[in-house]
Amino acid sequence: MNGEMYQISSLVASTKQALKQKSKINYKMTSYEHSVTFDCLHKDKAVRSPFNNVEEWYKQALKRKLTEVKFLTPAEVQDRHLLAFAGARRNLLTCFYKDGEVTYLMPTWTFNTGKKGWDIHYVENRWENPQQEKPVFPDNTENFAKVLREIAQLADDIECDNFGYLFRQAEQVLTGESPKASGIEIPLPQKHLNMFYAASSADVFGGMGSWNDSPWGMARDKNLSEKYEQLSSELYKQIVGVVLYAVNEW
């Protein structure tokens, strides 16, 4: 999975867990993260205060009576090839407070060459005229499983057996036929964790060596470009949908 989506999913899930358990937040940084910092709004002022890590941010959010968080991101992108680059996805950490205020924090990723890791900086903004109801995301397991089967067959048809195997493995994890693999350390209920792992495995959109690379040309050579585009777009849409459900709805 794209590291940006994984990071914000982990942050949202860790925050939800801490809110539910009324405990300290237990956020685990990945190996590619050097720092996670925040510029947050004061409750009644149009200024921001800096916080040096997730724990500091969460403490001030509790003082402001944070009640819920949601991960928001678009289900469609104009150019899937851009997903290989930092900042290609518009990811938002949305915060809901007891007094009705809604804010969103948008991350900026900067590579720290000296530390050989990413500095992730969130800036908070007020959501003007927010919807009265919090967003709710449906369980799209069936649609996700369907596109995984269809795109696995396409991978076979264009002789990309490695991708076909990957898509089938993702479906087996999604449906509980295969145990989840290691490497996912996000605090989610088991069903949601399986869904998140399946989405992570099937997120093959990137640069060289990805589903955006050779398979695109191989589909074209076999006159399957239209099917490739249709199924690739649907796969991305369903990946985003299953992540939003897995991370937000528990």
- pLDDT at res. 46: 66
User: Is the pLDDT reported for residue 181 higher than 60?
Assistant: no
User: Is the pLDDT reported for residue 86 higher than 80?
Assistant: no
Higher pLDDT, 4 or 85: 4
User: Is the pLDDT reported for residue 42 higher than 80?
Assistant: no
pLDDT (mean) for 144-165: 97
What is the model's pTM? 0.92
Q: Locate tokens 């985003």: which residue?
A: 240
pLDDT (mean) for 2-20: 96
User: Is the pLDDT reported for residue 83 higher than 80?
Assistant: no
Share of the chain above pLDDT 70, in %: 92
- pLDDT at res. 206: 80
pLDDT (mean) for 122-143: 91
Q: Locate tokens 């899937």: which residue?
A: 80
- pLDDT at res. 176: 82
User: Is the pLDDT reported for residue 18 higher than 90?
Assistant: yes
User: Is the pLDDT reported for residue 171 higher than 90?
Assistant: yes
- pLDDT at res. 88: 62
pLDDT band at 113 (very low <50, low <70, confident <90, very high): very high
